[in-house]
Structure 1
Amino acid sequence: MTAPPPGCPAHAQSVPLSGPRFQTDPVALYREMRRTHGPVVPVVLPGDVPAWLVVGYRELHQITSDPQLFSRDSELWNQWPHIPADWPLLPMIGRKQPSILYTVGERHSRRARLISDALEAVDPFELRRYAEEFADGLVDTFCTRGETDIISRYAMLLPVRVLARIYGIPDAQGPDLVAALNDMIDGRERAVAGQQHLIRTFSALIAERQAAPAHDVASRMLAAGAGPDGFGPEEILQDLMVMMAAGHQPTADWIGNTLRLMLTDDRFTASLSGGRHSVAEAMNEVLWEDTPTQNVAGRWAARDIRLGGRAIAAGDLLLLGLAAANGDPQVRTDASVLTGGNNAFLSFGHGEHRCPFPAQETAEVIARTAVEVLLDRLPDIDLAVPAESLTRRPSPWLRGLTALPVTFTPTPALGGSA
């Protein structure tokens, strides 16, 4: 790969956006970044590709509030001449992708409404019933054994199956979708292959629903997008892929991180078996302290600008450091104190490109149902290893556990669907 030109962020004491500290101690890492570089940090992506990581709450709020100056149009990126076709982050930072992620202006607003309307039409009681059905079915696969890994046997398998059901994808395709999504989001050697699997899956779904519409999200989006000024099948396909990726993995990590908090944090362990009242509080704390979506790509500067004391050039890529901004001492002066339900975190983004509210509600229903079902079925669940031995997946984008081994008193299966 051709090296970036001198004077860009890669030559300004840049921090590699990789390495074990993103998994082992991101709070301290972001604190050091903020202390050394301020609220806007020069970073290097794989292949010596320069970017800026925004770790200040105010600066992140400014970026997401001004879509004209900080655009979602990836065509603006000044590094495209240095990006090879097999760059592992292309699925996350795509060029000329016809998805909602890179649509701007009035067309983006109409597209966001289309997605919101399709999700809002999902019956909330049906959604919870699906989540309970799959959660009980998964618990049935390990409840008689007295031990399991919550991540691989439960959290990583649940959201995609619920989403596949409401989108219109056959239940049997859920496990392969999990593997493909993991490969794509982790941004490693199988990222492009994972993306191709999703394209094939949703292409087949679009073709089926064009021929025979059904009562599902894909059919509603196709119907609403029809027309000369609407959104064609390719655009609907891309948006369904975005919705699946954004809906599955962060929700799976939200489940795992919430259960880790409840099993290891003294503020929650005492009330773990005391009922469901602590689940919502624990889920909210995770969004502040251990948010699944750690960093997001991104925004592109529409012109030269100064931000957080930095000279940002037109076309520079700015990565949204959601986890770092949530820990900004300007908004969290004492991170040891519970937030008490404060929802000012940036875990779902902010501004016109934030996660649509119906999508956020869908994730909350799936995650909360997953935690509640598990605690109802296995009330004496306990961590099987020392808390300090738990490890995180090697991704700078999402923060989730590689495993969460637990023990519990064996219980009979209910006979649900897995």
Structure 2
Amino acid sequence: MIETRLLPTDELLRSVVSKVTEIRVRENELMQEIAELERRGAASELGYKDLAQVLRHAVRWDLTTARKWVTTAARLSGAITPTGSELQPELPATAEAVAEGALSIEHVAVVAQAMETLPAEAEAPLVDYARDHEPNEVRKFGEDLAYRLYQNDPEPRDPEPAPPGNEHMMRWKNGRLEIRAKLDKVTGAKYEALIDPLAKPRPNTTDEGPDRRSREQREGDALAELIDLMLRADQLPEHGGEPVTLTLTMPYDDLANRVGHATLDNGDHIPADQARQLACNAGIIPMVLGGTGQPLDIGRKTRTFPAAIRRTLVTRDRGCAFPGCGRPPRQCDAHHIRHWANGGDTSVDNAVLLCRHHHTLIHQSKWEVRLVTGIPTFYPPAWLDPQQRPRRNLINTA
């Protein structure tokens, strides 16, 4: 290796430029591999929500960086059709320049942003400009192109926002609070289970006669009663003499083996993993089905973790126990380390606090958690660490 102190300045600078080009070429190869992982559904295969979450653990990128790489890889890689044909990338001219090592990942982000408002034929001049200028100058050039193309056009509308998963709207009008909500299937089923027992017609009495309230009025009064119950906190509505329960119907073996689906009270289906996750923090009545789907036995309700156990978990775990997570206890569920469907009991020694994200990850992936000397200890999947060395949360337990 040549001693850099002995090189002339121009030669040393050429070496830097050459190495940066080599790095960019290697980055392009990396992005092609990331795109292939995305095409084959690697995140789902490994039990993760998306590929960015996989990369976050695999190469220790922060989530913002991981998402940037996944997004850039998608823009520079062609899709494969069901017949095996390969489609060109979203940004073909950009992909070609990146493969040559002429553009950085920051250049790609700027070009992609500019192309959101430019026609396809504008990509080539934009990329040619990017070959000789830094990303900030490319952004200005793209804005200038857009201005020259559309200066006589009416102002564009803002894009429609993506629909949210759950929506809740409140508005005061004439001294009354108007409420509207749109809930996903699981949340909606739980809401129905809370409202239904409180919205039953009142018994027909000699003094008051039949309940003449409409269904809407009964459900409105039920919501008001539910609010009062929640404020009292020590009382819950009953349905048929039982505390309110969300019933999931599925074969017991399917639940234990994490296959198939469960049926909610309203007839909608949810996958087995989601049913197991609900069972960690919701009242569940296991209904054992025979070979023809007939109910054979209805077991005792498996209760959620009581307040005393949760308080102990909060004291021990101080929040989500997953390594590196700092979410506080109020954002966490109590998770059965050994699931109750597999004989696990509801106790401090069989429980750990997990935020919603890591609770889902534990249920769907190969991550494992055990209590070692009373401390939640996590073991990564073999693809992440072939030795599966134990890990602990050093943030909440510090």
The answer to whether the superposition gives a TM-score over 0.5 is no
Question: Which bracket does the TM-score occupy, shorter chain normalised?
Answer: under 0.3
TM-score, L = length of structure 2: 0.22
TM-score in terms of structure 1 length: 0.21
Structure whose residues are more often helix by fraction: 1
